[in-house]
Structure 1
Amino acid sequence: MLKSVKVRDYMTIDLVTFKADMDLFRAIDVLLAHRISGAPVVDDEGHLLGLLSESDCLRGILSGSYHEEAGGTVASVMTVVVENIDADADIIKAAEHFIHKGRRRLPVMDEGLLVGQISRRDVLRAVKAYNEHGAPK
């Protein structure tokens, strides 16, 4: 049963992350270079502060163009209220979240610390593996 498949079994642990004081255009360069649509923003201890998405970047650029101010920092545009999921949650809970909330990715937490990220694609990998083999791989 898919409910036995845990988020931690399919989450990405080698994450690209940003610091809040990073220059917005540098962060955009990183997103483009890694071909990702967003990433967590963390402090020096690795605590989750927010998420930076392509939408956040576009919003920041548009806002800056109206005020004739280019750039800014990640902190000035990132999403601060961040939904997340526990590493031991079942994969079905992640899938439901993606469907009902329209998110592409969720930070994965374990005892209050960021330990990874799960995406829609990761959930699809889990379902495919379960369908092919009857158990997680």
Structure 2
Amino acid sequence: MGIKSFQGARKQQNTITEAVALKVKDYMSTKLVTFTPDQSVQEVVECLIRHKISGGPVVNSNNELVGIISEGDCLKQLSESRYYNMPLEHDNVEKRMARNVEIIDGNLDIFDAANKFLQSKRRRFPIVENGKLIGLISQKDILKAALQLKGENWNSATKGGS
């Protein structure tokens, strides 16, 4: 006669490895500095410096995304204005902005968003919903989300105690 052992079903324990859904929309900036196509490049430069940002979305009067303007776009204009002897205020955003803007889905997981940043070498992605600009996610926002995830994991691990 052998010894038989029986264990009943155990309730599944919550573990640290449980997937925590961190979505882009939970970490995107919604208070945005935006620009309009008719603004002067000089205004953009002043705004970038004042707000300590490196660029921003360009929207029309319906808050629809039409482009992105960056420090690099402004530097290019500055360089050309010197060459052609044209002051900054004579050029506008519409002439300098990037029009083929890559957007990112607000429901995208932050890890997939991090991969998208790495593949595209972009610093920021706009989030559009129903044709309207609703937010902007930057590399720094993704890093903040990752730190929060690490903090949540650390807290979960230490609450169980040993």
Place the TM-score, normalised by the shorter chain, in its bin: over 0.9
Partner of 2:117: 98
Deviations along 1:15-53, one digit per CA (max 9) or x if unpaired, are 000000001101110000000000000000100010010
Name which one, 1 or 2, has greater alpha-carbon Rg. 2
Question: What is the CA distance between 1:93 and its match in structure 2?
Answer: 2.0
> RCO (CA 8 Å, sep 6+): is it higher in 1 or 2?
1
Whole-angstrom distance in 1 between the partners of 2:147 and 2:139: 12
Whole-angstrom distance in 1 between the partners of 2:111 and 2:128: 17
1:19 aligned counterpart, secondary structure: coil
Q: Give the number of the structure whose residues are more often strand, by fraction.
A: 1
Question: What is the CA distance between 1:109 and its match in structure 2?
Answer: 1.5
Give the AA of the match of 1:73: N
CA RMSD of aligned residues (A): 1.4
Report runs of 4+ in structure 1 exceeding 2 Å deviation.
Answer: none
Corresponding position: 1:38 with 2:66? no
Question: What is the CA distance between 1:85 and its match in structure 2?
Answer: 0.3
Corresponding position: 1:125 with 2:144? yes
Question: What is the CA distance between 1:107 and its match in structure 2?
Answer: 0.4
Give the AA of the match of 1:42: V
Q: Which moved more, 1:62-71 or 1:46-55?
A: 62-71
1:36 aligned counterpart, secondary structure: coil
Whole-angstrom distance in 2 between the partners of 1:76 and 1:37: 18
Instruction: Say which of 16, 24, 36 aligns to 1:19.
Output: 36
Question: What is the CA distance between 1:76 and its match in structure 2?
Answer: 1.1
TM-score, with structure 2 as normaliser:
0.79
Partner of 1:6: 23
Instruction: Say which of 67, 70, 81 aligns to 1:50.
Output: 67
Instruction: Say which of 107, 110, 116 aligns to 1:88.
Output: 107
Whole-angstrom distance in 2 between the partners of 1:54 and 1:91: 26
Whole-angstrom distance in 1 between the partners of 2:51 and 2:95: 22
Q: How many corresponding residue pairs? A: 134
Partner of 2:15: none
Question: What is the CA distance between 1:101 and its match in structure 2?
Answer: 1.1
TM-score, with structure 1 as normaliser:
0.93
Whole-angstrom distance in 1 between the partners of 2:138 and 2:106: 13
Deviations along 1:86-125, one digit per CA (max 9) or x if unpaired, are 1111112211111111111100122332100000000001
